[in-house]
Amino acid sequence: MTKRPGGAAVAESFATQLLRWARTHGRTGLPWQPPPGSLADPYRVWVSEIMLQQTQVQSVRGYFQRFTDRFPSLGSLAKADLQEVLAVWSGLGYYARARNLHRAAQQIEAAWGGRFSDRAEDWQRLPGVGRSTAAAIVSICFGQREAILDANVRRVLARQVMAQEPWGSAALDQRLWQEAEQRLPLRRQDMPRYTQAMMDLGATVCLSRSADCAACPVVGFCQAHAAGRVADFPVPRAKAPRPSRKAFWLLVVYQNQLGLWQRPPEGIWGGLWTPWDIPAAEPWPQGSEPLTMLRHGFTHFTLEVEVRLISPQTKAGMLSLQRQSRGHGQTLEFRPLVDFLALGLPAPVRRLLASSGLAG
């Protein structure tokens, strides 16, 4: 096994080798990165870090560009209507991130006078900003010596020390936070590149299923590699089968207008517009016809949706359906499809409307 130096020598050697690698192998050209020689924009870094929570870079790129084109500054985001923010976010998923981003922008304007703090503890008081996200922002933008611990960095460090604690456990996090802090470079001016390099290492080299150890700049410190057990780490947590949940949606169309309802601000798809969600124990309204079946995967369950279509021919019929939906706590609003497309719609609802022929 490769002998690991002790104390500050570990941190400086690990950091030095990682920084050297980053100069030629680190990712460049990401839309939130500043041009060479320029300082990072805290607004763009913050937006990117929120988007990258539970979402990979390739999925975020296009959304980030559209989002910052529409909301190019903190002020524009803080003043925007939440429905507009959700519409631009639509399809990226985990919509609480968008709501938190909007609310945090308003708090920064109100509490910080529109200026970005260089203190991680200030950022952690904002909705949607945890310890690692706060550290990423202040280290990249202000050179603060703060360690990050996103999923990629967890994987790197778990292999570095052959951590026996299972993935997702508090014990693993506690141990890896200590390891992450010990490896920080000593010079603050190195922090922006180092933080990005830690992300890049986990995203491009120390991959979950196919680690490229030959390309790793810190392989000499990796206990899992020395033991020939890279594939065994991180130790997976016991997985329970992902359950299925059923839902029953009624798509109401009246005189070329759709009837959708806006979900409560919290919870799954909070604040977004969806078809009428018929309780499982109740019959479909008379006159409804089968339309399609949908499956949509969430982190902890799979949603299976039976969708029916109903097209009332009279205003009285439409009003009757509205009364029934209100009885379920869902007030249908009728608008042209194009109007709803400008609002926040979950990805499966957008796909449903496109495939139903109503979009044509």
Same domain for 144 and 74: yes
Same domain for 97 and 169: yes
Q: Is the dihedral of CA 270, 93, 76, 74 positive or negative?
A: positive
Per-residue pLDDT at 1: 33
49 is catalytic: yes
Last residue of a domain, one of 182, 211, 232: 232
Per-residue pLDDT at 5: 45
Is there a domain that residue 181 lies in? yes
CATH of the domain at 195: 1.10.340.30
- Amino acid, single-letter form, for residue 321: L
- Amino acid, single-letter form, for residue 134: A
Same domain for 196 and 251: no
C-alpha to C-alpha distances, 253 to 55, 100, 320, nearest whole angstrom: 34, 33, 13
15: buried, middle or exposed (CB in 10 Å: 19+, 13-18, 0-12)? Answer: buried
Same domain for 178 and 56: yes
Is there a domain that residue 109 lies in? yes
Per-residue pLDDT at 37: 81
CATH of the domain at 255: 3.90.79.10
Same domain for 178 and 144: yes
Same domain for 166 and 63: yes
SS (H, E, C) 218-265: CHHHCHHHHCCCHHHCCCCCCCCCCCEEEEEEEEEEECCEEEEEECCC
Per-residue pLDDT at 2: 38
Last residue of a domain, one of 232, 267, 297: 232
Count of domains observed in the chain: 2
Is there a domain that residue 342 lies in? yes
Same domain for 337 and 208: no
* 250 bridge partner residues: 276, 308
Catalytic choice (49, 146, 266, 306): 49
For 19, residues 6+ apart whose C-beta sits below 8 A from its C-beta are 185, 190, 193, 194, 197
Average pLDDT by consecutive 10-residue portion of the chain (360 residues)? Answer: 47 88 94 90 98 92 96 97 93 92 97 96 97 97 97 97 96 97 95 96 95 97 97 90 93 94 89 94 92 90 94 93 92 93 90 73
Q: How far apart are CA 133 and CA 39, in angstroms?
A: 18
Helix (H, G, I), strand (E, B) or coil at 199: helix
pTM exceeding the 0.75 threshold for the entire prediction: yes
Is there a domain that residue 360 lies in? no
The boundaries of the domain holding residue 223 are 8-232
Last residue of a domain, one of 232, 267, 295: 232
Same domain for 122 and 149: yes
Is there a domain that residue 299 lies in? yes
Is there a domain that residue 3 lies in? no
Is there a domain that residue 239 lies in? no
